[in-house]
Structure 1
Amino acid sequence: MNIALLANPTAGKGRKAGLLPEVVARLRAGGHTVDVVTAGSRDAMVDLGRQAVADGRAVVAMGGDGTVHLGLQAVAGTGAPFGIVPAGTGNDFAVRLGLPGDTLAAAEAIAAHTRTTSIDLAKVSGGGTTAWFGAVMAAGFDAFVNERANRMRWPRGPQRYNLAIVAELLALRSRRYQMRIDEVESEFDSVLVAIGNTESYGGGFRIVPGADPTDGLLDVVVAEPLSRRTLMRLRPKVFKGTHVEDPRVSTFRARRIELAAEGVTAYADGERICPLPVTIECVPGALNLIG
């Protein structure tokens, strides 16, 4: 293969940036041509990925879920081979696809690849924006946490996210949602809505357990209005996926979802997409995954 390696040296707090030369070496050891691609902005990285696809190259993303998300924008629906070298903090998408979690082992697996696998992706559209995601779209409490954390300039690092959680818990209130799942319409109050192609986000939170990226469907989880205490009691259960056993949590499965609510911004793969309303569709086989 002729590989464009999209590399994010800041992924995972930069702890694995020093592995980049060895990742390149192991990919080249498989007989592949490798060029490292970096950019100063998200849009520039996507543009470079799309140019690589236009040039007939495979794309490999080295980084966390955010870097993978950028790579998906370049390759989705094109048939271009796509590989993941996890080097972030959570790496949810790679983990749920069963790919090697070790950075160098993942590079070796790509270098020795003998097949590709067709994987579903989700496409979200709204407000003039269209984006692809591989893992989970949040449109409730966790989306508000992300939105608040992105606005904060202090403190830096994970503590900022922790403070955002506390602030959003204090501000917790339900929103009124309108949802159309395939041909069924509903209206409800909720504090948490998540739509998943794979089952986890946030470094292992199995928010939509059982989501299968090869079944042509998306999984939806909706939580009724909950108190702060109840929400925090449910949160640890999300690591096991047992929160869906609670009668206040509903699950659905669909090919297409339309979702609307005032004052809610959608986040997918941890990245800001756009304010609701949005339409989310499962696109079977949109990703040609190496491995």
Structure 2
Amino acid sequence: MKYIFVENPIAGNKKKQLLFRQVQSAFRLSNDEMIIEPTKGPKHAVQIARQYAEQYGDQAVIVSCGGDGTVHELANGLAGTDTPLMIIPLGTGNDFAKKIYGSKKLNMENVVKSFGLHDGNLRYDVRPIDLIDYNGEKCINIMSFGADTLVETIGRKIAAKVPLLGQSAYTAAVLPVIAKPLRYRMNIDLNCIDKDGHAFKLTAEPHEYALMAICNASYYGGGFCPAPDSVLDDGLLDMAYIDSISLLEAAPLIPKYADGSLAHDGNVHLHTCYVTSGRVWSYEGAPLLGNCDGENFDYSEVHFKVEPKALKLCFIKE
């Protein structure tokens, strides 16, 4: 079996390099092959994943050694193939990794040891998960619109300037965003399912909102949790949106939105349901204020749908 470690050279530190050397030593004692592929720019990870998937199929595992951006690109390269993805969290947010590993194991040392990469005794389960298709691209985690996209954008800039802040950079980014009225507009036409399993359409031209998250997983923006009960392989996307609100209304919601409890406390400003597909488009023709997996996009219209069991993912063996 070939294990291709796709490395974002920007992510991680000297600790990562020491860990890599330990893993390399373990592979020398095994019958498996370790290949390191550094990324050289945007979308390069997509190309690497496709190349190995086409050449080796299920005889290779692509190992993500970066943050959510690397995971996003590799998911795009591996969607619909027989080659599984393994994730070692090395970024600032590592939001998708929180879903599959939980907070206790969410560091590279724990994940490497749990998979047996440190001693060559590899152990893991491979299971298919859903993806979100949006305008032909793939999203593994969350697609969102509105205030949360601003938080993501500002948080990333803060993290780049002050790396020591880590995930706290995204918390700091909340303040300048909520200082202004959280009022955004876009048109929506969504195919939804309520919690009792009844299908319905949600349409509005325009729809006023503070933020909207369409979730395959649970966490985004450095740890905010709009969908604590999301299931990665149920063929459904969890949607949460918050009404257009003022600073006074937003302030008490933020801690609950961060820890996931807002989804369960019946707040009148939060609306949740499942969604399987839909269309979102700009109210005024300008690009939408949106992102997928923390990567901003400039579409003025987005068509999306859930793609059931589209990606094979490595899970820690229980």
- TM-score (structure 1 length as normaliser): 0.87
Correspondence 1:289 to 2:289: no
* Secondary structure at 2:235 match in 1: coil
* Secondary structure at 1:46 match in 2: helix
Correspondence 1:251 to 2:272: yes
Alignment-derived partner of residue 7 in structure 2: 7
Is contact 2:45-2:77 (8 Å) kept?
A: no
Alignment-derived partner of residue 142 in structure 2: 136
Distance 2:298 2:160 in 1: 24
Alignment-derived partner of residue 179 in structure 2: 170
Long gaps (5+) in structure 2: 192-199
**Structure 1 residues 177-213: Cα deviation after superposition (integer angstroms, max 9, x where no partner):** 3222226142121011111001111232111221111
* Secondary structure at 2:208 match in 1: strand
Alignment-derived partner of residue 266 in structure 1: 290
Is contact 2:225-2:259 (8 Å) kept?
A: yes
**In structure 2, what residue type is equivalent to 1:135?**
N
How far does residue 155 in structure 1 lie from its aligned partner after superposition?
Answer: 4.2
> For residues 103 and 148 of structure 1, do their structure 2 counterparts lie closer, same or farther at Cα, with a shift above 3 Å needed?
closer
**Structure 1 residues 88-147: Cα deviation after superposition (integer angstroms, max 9, x where no partner):** 23322122123742323423416523531111111111xxxx321221112110112334
- Structure 2 residue aligned with 1:118, among 128, 135, 154? 128
Distance 1:222 1:117 in 2: 30
**In structure 1, what residue type is equivalent to 2:178?**
L
Is contact 1:3-1:35 (8 Å) kept?
A: yes
> For residues 179 and 270 of structure 1, do their structure 2 counterparts lie closer, same or farther at Cα, with a shift above 3 Å needed?
same
Correspondence 1:80 to 2:97: no
Distance 2:124 2:8 in 1: 26
Correspondence 1:192 to 2:211: yes
* Secondary structure at 1:225 match in 2: coil
How far does residue 148 in structure 1 lie from its aligned partner after superposition?
Answer: 4.9
How far does residue 254 in structure 1 lie from its aligned partner after superposition?
Answer: 1.6
The aligned length equals 287
**Structure 1 residues 1-46: Cα deviation after superposition (integer angstroms, max 9, x where no partner):** 2121111232257763442222444456553211101122022222
> For residues 195 and 264 of structure 1, do their structure 2 counterparts lie closer, same or farther at Cα, with a shift above 3 Å needed?
same
Is contact 2:170-2:221 (8 Å) kept?
A: no
**In structure 2, what residue type is equivalent to 1:278?**
V
* Secondary structure at 1:35 match in 2: strand
**In structure 2, what residue type is equivalent to 1:138?**
S
Alignment-derived partner of residue 42 in structure 2: 42
Greater mean alpha carbon deviation, residues 182-191 or residues 116-125: 182-191
Alignment-derived partner of residue 301 in structure 2: 277
> For residues 228 and 255 of structure 1, do their structure 2 counterparts lie closer, same or farther at Cα, with a shift above 3 Å needed?
same
Greater mean alpha carbon deviation, residues 249-258 or residues 275-284: 275-284
Alignment-derived partner of residue 96 in structure 1: 99
- TM-score (structure 2 length as normaliser): 0.80
How far does residue 149 in structure 1 lie from its aligned partner after superposition?
Answer: 5.7
Distance 2:159 2:254 in 1: 26
Long gaps (5+) in structure 1: none
> For residues 17 and 268 of structure 1, do their structure 2 counterparts lie closer, same or farther at Cα, with a shift above 3 Å needed?
farther
Distance 1:154 1:32 in 2: 37
Is contact 2:218-2:228 (8 Å) kept?
A: yes
> For residues 17 and 206 of structure 1, do their structure 2 counterparts lie closer, same or farther at Cα, with a shift above 3 Å needed?
farther
Is contact 1:211-1:219 (8 Å) kept?
A: yes
How far does residue 54 in structure 1 lie from its aligned partner after superposition?
Answer: 1.7
Identity of paired residues, percent?
25
**In structure 2, what residue type is equivalent to 1:267?**
N
**Structure 1 residues 59-103: Cα deviation after superposition (integer angstroms, max 9, x where no partner):** 110122122112111111112111111122332212212374232
Is contact 1:5-1:35 (8 Å) kept?
A: yes
> For residues 118 and 175 of structure 1, do their structure 2 counterparts lie closer, same or farther at Cα, with a shift above 3 Å needed?
same
